[in-house]
Structure 1
Amino acid sequence: MKDFKLDNNRDLVIKNGDFAIGDTDQQNIELLLLSHKGSFKEHPILGVGITDYLKSPEIISRLRLENEISNQLEYDNFFIKDLDVNNLENIHIDGNY
């Protein structure tokens, strides 16, 4: 998916005096995982709030996290091929918009 690029501080990237546009799949997934419900005013139920799940490493939390990520990505029209949250330091998401 092509869209406006953001830098590490989530500010718009300016290139040659204009907004930078590029592939934003990873950027969109990252924003979706970090955002809490209510962060997107047009889509108030969108957002995982992953930081809340990372505080409790129990297996039930991982199952809930995997379910929440799956539901939110599907809501955002992302087709999931593979999702693995066993390693919370390196969550694996494979798929495409």
Structure 2
Amino acid sequence: MASKPMTKTALVAAIADELGSDKKSAGAALDAITAIITKEVSAGGAVTLPGVGKIYCRERPERMVRNPATGDQIKKEADKVVKMTIAKALKDSVNG
């Protein structure tokens, strides 16, 4: 197991190495992918990354929550949350 998560710099270097290109174009590609995913999910859509998983937005209804400091019940407004479902291929490669 890796001790620290991969940073953006390390990811860009790995992409550049895998593609045999320079870090500048690999960084631009990563930024473009991030922008596309952000735009699609914030508009309510979903993005499937083959072999990795599906990123989507889910709406949560209004609900009652408890303040842990005081124990008071508070009504929390409806909101949206970003979720990711991991692909079976990635789960299988990690487990076996």
Q: Same fold (TM over 0.5)?
A: no
Identify which of structures 1 and 2 has the higher relative contact order when contacts are C-alpha pairs closer than 8 Å and 6+ apart.
2
- TM-score range (shorter-chain normalised) is under 0.3
Q: In proportion to residue count, which structure has more helix?
A: 2
TM-score, normalization by structure 2: 0.24
